[in-house]
C-alpha cells in the first residue's frame, strides 16, 4: 500500500453533514465532498476514488443510484451508504444494485466510521494495484456448482429451470445437510431460504463468508425487515436479497451475476477482500453448538478458496 492518503468521496444533500465529515477525515484521507449526487458520479469518472460514502435520500439522485453509477464506472471503488433512515426497498436496492460494502446509520459513531472507511480504502488500494479484472467475456463459462438450501423444492426447481444444465445444483433441506455439501464440494453460489432473523441460517451465512469469501450467497426471504438485510450486508456480505417468492427475472439475473462474479473472484484473488465482513454485533446470532461438528469439518476442508 502506498503512503499517499486514500481518496474518499462524501455525498450528502445536507451541507452540514458534508462539512462535519470533511473535518472528521481531515488528515486521514484526501477528502472530496459534495451535496450533489451528479457531481459525485462525475468525480468518480474523472479520478481514482477509493471509497464513496453516500446518503440515501437526496433530491435528484438517490444514494443507491449514485453507488450503482460508481460501481459501473469504477468497480474497484468501495461503496458505503450512510443514511438516517432507509426503508426495505432502499436497503435491498443497496445490496442488489449498489453491491455496497457497508451500510452505516446516522447518527454514526466516529471511530466506527473511520475504521470502516479505512478498511474499505485499504481493500480498494489493493485492488487498484492488482492485475486488471478480466473482461467478463473472458471469464470461463462457469461449470460451477450451486447449492440451494430450502425446506421444500420450489426454489431448487426454479433454479434448475433458470440455469444451463452444465451447472450442478445441489439441494439441501437442512442446514446440516448444506454444511456437509459445502465441506465436500466446491460450491460457487449458495441460494438460501431465510425464514428467521436470528436462527442458525442467518448466523451461518455470516460465518461462511468469513471462511469462504468467494462463496456468494443469494438470500430469499419473506422477512420484510430492513434491519435483517442491513446485518446480512455488514456481517454477511450477501450478494443478493430477494423477497419470497422471488421474481423470476430477478432470480435469473442474480444467479448469472453470482456465477460470473464467482469466476472473477477465483481468477483475481485480490477481489475477495471486498467481501470482508464485520464481526457480528448481536450475541444471539452465534451458532448453536449442535452445528460445531459441521463447522470443524468445513474449516478443515481444503476446498476453501482463500485469497493469495
162 binds another protein (CB under 8 A): no
199 binds another protein (CB under 8 A): no
107 binds another protein (CB under 8 A): yes
225 binds another protein (CB under 8 A): no
Which stretch in 67-75, 106-114, 195-203, 285-293 sits in contact with another protein by CB under 8 A? 106-114
- Compose the 74-93 pattern: x for residues touching another protein by CB under 8 A, - for all others: --------xxxx-x------
20 binds another protein (CB under 8 A): yes
19 binds another protein (CB under 8 A): yes
Task: Please list, in sequence order, all residues whose beta carbon lies within 8 angstroms of the beta carbon of residue 52, skipping any fewer than 6 positions away.
Answer: 8, 9, 11, 40, 44, 66, 67, 70, 77, 78, 79, 80
184 binds another protein (CB under 8 A): no
23 binds another protein (CB under 8 A): yes
106 binds another protein (CB under 8 A): yes
Among 5, 24, 154, 250, binds another protein (CB under 8 A): 24
Q: How far is the CB of 21 from another protein (least distance, A)?
A: 7
Rg (CA), the chain: 19
Other CB atoms closer than 10 Å to residue 113's CB: what's the count?
19
Q: Which three cell numbers stand for residue 248?
A: 423470476
Q: How far is the CB of 84 from another protein (least distance, A)?
A: 3
Which residue lies nearer to another protein by CB, 12 or 207? 12
* Rounded Cα–Cα distance for residues 40 and 62 (Å): 12
57 binds another protein (CB under 8 A): yes
In 3D space, the residue among 120, 163, 116, 122 whose CA is nearest the CA of residue 144 turns out to be 163
What residues between 238 and 267 interact with another protein by CB under 8 A? Answer: none
Q: How far is the CB of 28 from another protein (least distance, A)?
A: 12
308 binds another protein (CB under 8 A): no
112 binds another protein (CB under 8 A): no
Residue numbers of the site for another protein (CB under 8 A)? 12, 14, 16-17, 19-21, 23-24, 55, 57-59, 82-85, 87, 105-108, 110
Amino acid at each position: 500500500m502506498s503512503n499517499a492518503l486514500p481518496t474518499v468521496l462524501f455525498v450528502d444533500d445536507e451541507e452540514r453533514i458534508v462539512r462535519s465529515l470533511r473535518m472528521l477525515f481531515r488528515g486521514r484521507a484526501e477528502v472530496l465532498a459534495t451535496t450533489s449526487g451528479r457531481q459525485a458520479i462525475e468525480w468518480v469518472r474523472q479520478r481514482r476514488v477509493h471509497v464513496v460514502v453516500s446518503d440515501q435520500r437526496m433530491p435528484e439522485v438517490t444514494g443507491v443510484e449514485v453507488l450503482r453509477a460508481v460501481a459501473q464506472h469504477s468497480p474497484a471503488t468501495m461503496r458505503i451508504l450512510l443514511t438516517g433512515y432507509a426503508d426495505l426497498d432502499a436497503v435491498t436496492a443497496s445490496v442488489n444494485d449498489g453491491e455496497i460494502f457497508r451500510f452505516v446509520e446516522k447518527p454514526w459513531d466516529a471511530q466506527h466510521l473511520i475504521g470502516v472507511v479505512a478498511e474499505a480504502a485499504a481493500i480498494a488500494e489493493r485492488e487498484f494495484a492488482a492485475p486488471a479484472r478480466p473482461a467478463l467475456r473472458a471469464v470461463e463459462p462457469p461449470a460451477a456448482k450451486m447449492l440451494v438450501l430450502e425446506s421444500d423444492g420450489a426454489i431448487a426447481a426454479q433454479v434448475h429451470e433458470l440455469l444451463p444444465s452444465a451447472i450442478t445444483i445441489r439441494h439441501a433441506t437442512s442446514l446440516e445437510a448444506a454444511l456437509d455439501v459445502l465441506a465436500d464440494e466446491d460450491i460457487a453460489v449458495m441460494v438460501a431460504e431465510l425464514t428467521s432473523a436470528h436462527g442458525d441460517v442467518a448466523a451461518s451465512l455470516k460465518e461462511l463468508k468469513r471462511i469462504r469469501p468467494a462463496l456468494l450467497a443469494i438470500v430469499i426471504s419473506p422477512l420484510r425487515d430492513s434491519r435483517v438485510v442491513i446485518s446480512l450486508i455488514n456481517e454477511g456480505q450477501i450478494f443478493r436479497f430477494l423477497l419470497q417468492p422471488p421474481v423470476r427475472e430477478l432470480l435469473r439475473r442474480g444467479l448469472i451475476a453470482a456465477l460470473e462474479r464467482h469466476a472473477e473472484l477465483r481468477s483475481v484473488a485480490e477481489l475477495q477482500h471486498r467481501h470482508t465482513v464485520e464481526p457480528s454485533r448481536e450475541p444471539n446470532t452465534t451458532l448453536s453448538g449442535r452445528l460445531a461438528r459441521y463447522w470443524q469439518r468445513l474449516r478443515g476442508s481444503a476446498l476453501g478458496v482463500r485469497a493469495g
